[in-house]
Structure 1
Amino acid sequence: MKMGVISDVHGNYVALQRVLKALETESVDAIYCLGDIVGYYPQVNECCRALRQQHIHCIMGNHDWYMVGGYCARSKSVNTCIDYQRSIIDEDHLNWLSTLPLYRTVNDIHMLHGGWTNPLDEYLKPEAAYFSKLRGQFFFSGHTHRQILCDYGDQIYCNPGSVGQPRDNDPRAAYAIWDHGDIQLFRIEYPVDEVFKLMNNAGFDDYYYGCLLTGASHLCKLPPDYRIS
């Protein structure tokens, strides 16, 4: 089986479209999404609709959990974005999000959003000793927004990175492809200014989206001399 693996879309439909188109050209048999479909950026309905229409196998992330009734205890910015998105999301998509599982396993490929200690909210720091305590060969998770591939011999771990908000100093949308045991990492450019305009129209200032310009590890404003085209 050849499958695409994506994560952390965060309402960034502009980036998601580019990634899904790229995966279509790769003729993958299936696509799996490791969660955080919503959060931060405003096109949550478009993202949910695309994933559902293309029968993409999704997992619940912490932002998806916030959306269906949870609350982020550590970030006012996250809650501000979720409150806005909750006001615009279609009820059908909200109900769908509530049904997403915490885990998915395909053969010996084990997938979740955070980590195997806390599937929703563990910021996993991959080490051989961590995975040696788990049963299985291939492991995928998201949540950190950092693209990683670690080969420990008998076990392999991959974080495909973030589609919608990379945090590894590379602003390009990230994804991975698993092809009969071989894993490859990919990045693709997308027009970030389109997201900037959508956020402005939704009433958000650049603090919420400036990080998309550089792939910064935290929310930040655009440079003072930057002009949205």
Structure 2
Amino acid sequence: MTIAFISDIHGNFEALKAVLAELDRMRVAEIFCVGDVVGYYSQVNECCDELKRRGIHSVLGNHDWYLGFGGFCTRSKSVNECLVYQRKVITSENVNWLRAFRLQMHIGNVQVVHAGWGDPIDEYLTDPNEDYFARLSGDNFVSGHTHVQSIHRFGDKTYCNPGSVGQPRDGDPRAAFATFDGETFELHRVEYNMQKVFELMETAGFHDYYYGGLKTGASRLRRLED
């Protein structure tokens, strides 16, 4: 039985649709979300509604927490400016749905958090290493948050970051996801209608600064000290 992991959708419904269409074609048994359904882009309700419609369960990401519980990001003005817009458009039903997300899921022999096992919401595993996972019990681990797709093997332990559906930051602009057949993880990419995202963001009042990084798979974040 093959399952799929999607992560860091960030309100990019065009990317989400393309990924889900590919997963339907692949006939995976079940899909799980590794957090950050919302954030950055304008179609937060569409993303929430589609995951709810399909019964896709998600762990809590930092952007889900920001929007669900009224928080703000301490690192980026861009994130906070997007949150102001998203708070105006998201439905109360979807806010309550975000609030119900768990910090961690166990799916068979796979442990899932959004960020890391030291801080499930906001730890960046930018350099996954054997020492880190030696402290954890279990065999298979999945987290997102960095938007960088990867698989790392440390003896009998395997760590997978499925990458970002809605905002890749690893130099490949295609939407990312991963599958797991019970023993082996596999990474995947799929193209999507990026221009539609640009047009929707412009209509929402955002200029290229907020979405231009999608073109190259690079992050473009304005720091609070800027």
**Taking structure 1 as the reference length, what is the TM-score of the superposition?**
0.94
Runs of 4+ with deviation above 4 angstroms: none
Q: 2:76·2:221 contact (CA, 8 Å) conserved in 1?
A: no
- What is the aligned length? 220
1:9 matched residue in structure 2: 9
Q: How does 1:54-133 map to 2 (within 5 A)?
A: 54-68=54-68, 69-124=70-125, 125-133=127-135
Q: 1:169·1:217 contact (CA, 8 Å) conserved in 2?
A: no
What amino acid is the match of 2:81? Answer: T
1:209 matched residue in structure 2: 211
1:225 matched residue in structure 2: none
2:153 matched residue in structure 1: 151
Q: Distance in 1 between matches of 2:122 and 2:7?
A: 14
Q: 2:16·2:166 contact (CA, 8 Å) conserved in 1?
A: yes
Shift of 1:46: 0.3
What amino acid is the match of 2:57? Answer: H
Q: What secondary structure does 2:20 align onto?
A: helix
Shift of 1:218: 2.8
1:45 matched residue in structure 2: 45
2:200 counterpart (194, 198, 201): 198
Q: Distance in 1 between matches of 2:220 and 2:43?
A: 21
Q: Distance in 1 between matches of 2:10 and 2:167?
A: 7
Q: Distance in 1 between matches of 2:109 and 2:67?
A: 30
Q: What secondary structure does 2:152 align onto?
A: strand
Q: What secondary structure does 2:71 align onto?
A: coil
Q: Distance in 1 between matches of 2:121 and 2:168?
A: 18
Q: Distance in 2 between matches of 1:30 and 1:214?
A: 30
Q: 2:114·2:144 contact (CA, 8 Å) conserved in 1?
A: yes
Please report the RMSD computed on the Cα atoms of aligned residues, expressed in angstroms: 1.0
Shift of 1:28: 1.1
What amino acid is the match of 2:120? Answer: P
What amino acid is the match of 2:67? Answer: M
What amino acid is the match of 1:97? Answer: L
Q: Distance in 2 between matches of 1:216 and 1:7?
A: 16
Sequence identity (%): 53
Deviates more, 1:146-155 or 1:134-143: 146-155
What amino acid is the match of 1:40? Answer: Y
Shift of 1:27: 1.1
Q: Distance in 2 between matches of 1:54 and 1:206?
A: 32
What amino acid is the match of 1:117? Answer: G
Deviates more, 1:179-188 or 1:161-170: 179-188
Q: 1:8·1:145 contact (CA, 8 Å) conserved in 2?
A: yes
**Taking structure 2 as the reference length, what is the TM-score of the superposition?**
0.95
1:32 matched residue in structure 2: 32
Which consecutive unaligned segments of at least 5 residues does structure 1 have?
A: 221-229
Q: 1:211·1:217 contact (CA, 8 Å) conserved in 2?
A: yes
Shift of 1:116: 0.5
Q: Distance in 2 between matches of 1:148 and 1:99?
A: 28
2:178 counterpart (176, 179, 195): 176
Shift of 1:9: 0.1
1:218 matched residue in structure 2: 220
